[in-house]
Structure 1
């Protein structure tokens, strides 16, 4: 009887998790895509603002170089104000982190965007900085964080169902089944992460070009990061931003689609 009840509870948990996920669909006003998210834009903004101070502390806080920090903010606001991103409801703010060893940039839900001093010092041109920041803006307007949170909740629900169904308190070895289920869930979410990266690259091509910067600088950023990957584990950027082998080719394809007649003259490098 206990076994039957256990499986019934597991099935109910799985059904509720799947139902919640599949019913939480809405169209993204910026990309036009139908997404599964279970939080409002206002909740995204609040979550990002709440998390920003703690995240910044993990990288040594904000950089004391006010001039460099101002340059990052100015670039971010230029990309927002000179493109249709300015029509989005997000509250964008751009921060330079003090960490000069870690090579990374990332966006929190709602528009809080960070770049480490370690990555900034490797960039050689304004257009490269525009490419990095444009990529992170792409994550925000495409609501990738909200998508990932919805997927994570689904994964947690299904993992919980699997744990309920497979765990036997009289057999500790049964815990491995739940661990395997959790790993499968993580791999699934990683696959979606790669798709998100490619979408953000495409959005960055649009944003940088619209703001007057040469989007081909993003290809140079990829090469800079590849050169920096000689150390153990490589730059954190390549760990938090899954980097498919065809990423440069995808950027080139996005540029060709955006500018079928060739890039306009006068773009900043």
Structure 2
């Protein structure tokens, strides 16, 4: 009897999680894609603003070099104001982090975008910096954070249901089933993470070109990231959250060909 009740409870939890996820569908006004999110744009903006100070603190705070910080802001705002991004409701701001060792850039939901000094000093041109910031803008307008939060809630509900259904207090080995269920949930989110990165690369190609930057500069950014990793792939590409930089170059070339079938104009900033 206990087993039946446990199974029913697990089934109800799974059903509620699935229904909630599949019913939270709306069209992204920027990309035109149908996606599942369970928060408003205003909530995204508020969440990003709330998290920004804590994220900056993890990287040593903001960089004291005001000239470099203003350059990052200027290029970021050029990407916003000279593209369709200016028509979105997001509040974009661009920050240079003090961390000289870490090679990273990231976006918080709502438009707070960060790049570490460790990555900035490796970049060789204005066009490359535009490519990095354009990629992060892509994450924001594509609402990747909101998507990931919705998926996380789904997988949390499903793995919780699986744990309840599998767990037997009289059989300690049943705990391994819950662990397996959790791993499946993690792998699901890793796969979506790869797709998000590739979509942001494609959006960055559009944004950089529209703002007057040569999108080919992004290919050199991928080479720089690969050099920063020492050429190590960290395991099979499928199992990585971020696609291997070398493999992303081919996808960037495809996006450039699609955006500029007659070739990239010569007058763009590299």
TM-score by length of 2: 0.95
Q: Is the 8 A contact 1:83 1:207 kept in 2?
A: yes
CA contact (8 A) 2:222 2:246 kept: no
Is this contact kept in 2: 1:202–1:251, CA < 8 A? yes
Partner of 2:160: 160
Q: Distance in 2 between matches of 1:240 and 1:126?
A: 27
Structure 2 partner of 1:120: 120
Shift in alpha-carbon separation, 1:146–1:168, aligned structure 2, 3 A:
same
CA distance in 2, matches of 1:231, 1:103: 14
| Structure 1 segments unaligned to the other structure (5+ residues) | none
Q: Does 1:242 align with 2:230?
A: no
Shift of 1:125: 0.2
| Aligned counterparts, 1:140-155, within 5 A | 140-155=140-155
**Structure 1 residue 102, shift from structure 2 partner:** 0.5
Contact map agreement 2:159 2:185 (CA 8 A) in 1: yes
Note the C-alpha offset of 1:107.
Answer: 0.4
TM-fit CA distance, 1:142: 0.3
Spell out the pairing of 1:57-136 with structure 2 (5 A cutoff): 57-136=57-136
Within 2, Cα distance between the matches of 1:136 and 1:240? 16
Q: Equivalents in 2 of 1:181, 1:231: separation in Å?
A: 33
- Give the aligned CA root-mean-square deviation in angstroms: 1.5
- Structure 1 CA distance, aligned partners of 2:136 and 2:268? 21
Aligned to 1:213: 213
Corresponding residue SS for 2:96: strand
Q: How far has the Cα of 1:232 moved from its partner? A: 7.8
Q: CA deviation at 1:2?
A: 0.8
Per mean C-alpha deviation after superposition, the further-off stretch among 162-171 and 44-53 is 162-171
What pairs with 1:226-241 in structure 2 (closer than 5 Å)?
Answer: 226-230=226-230, 241=242
Please give the alpha-carbon distance, in whole angstroms, between the structure 2 residues aligned to 1:244 and 1:177.
35
Give the TM-score normalised by structure 1.
0.95
Describe the shift of the 1:240–1:60 C-alpha distance in structure 2 as closer, same or farther (beyond 3 A): farther
CA distance in structure 2 between the aligned counterparts of 1:241 and 1:63, rounded to whole angstroms: 26
Q: Please list the CA deviations of residues 127-165 of structure 1 after superposition, one character each: whole Å capped at 9, or x if unmatched.
A: 000000000000000000111110000000000000110
- Listed one character per residue, the Cα deviations across residues 33-54 of structure 1 (whole Å, up to 9, x for unaligned) are 0001011000101111111111
- Unpaired runs of 5+ residues, structure 2, are 235-239
* Cα pair distance change 1:99/1:93, threshold 3 Å: same
Paired position in structure 1 for 2:267: 266
Distance 1:175 1:58 in 2: 35
CA contact (8 A) 1:194 1:244 kept: no
Aligned residue for 1:212, secondary structure, equals coil
1:26–1:34 CA contact under 8 A, matched in 2:
yes
Match of 1:174 in 2: 174
Is the deviation greater in 172-181 or in 91-100?
172-181
Distance 1:265 1:123 in 2: 21
Equivalent in the alignment of 2:51: 51
What's the secondary structure of 1:71's corresponding residue?
helix
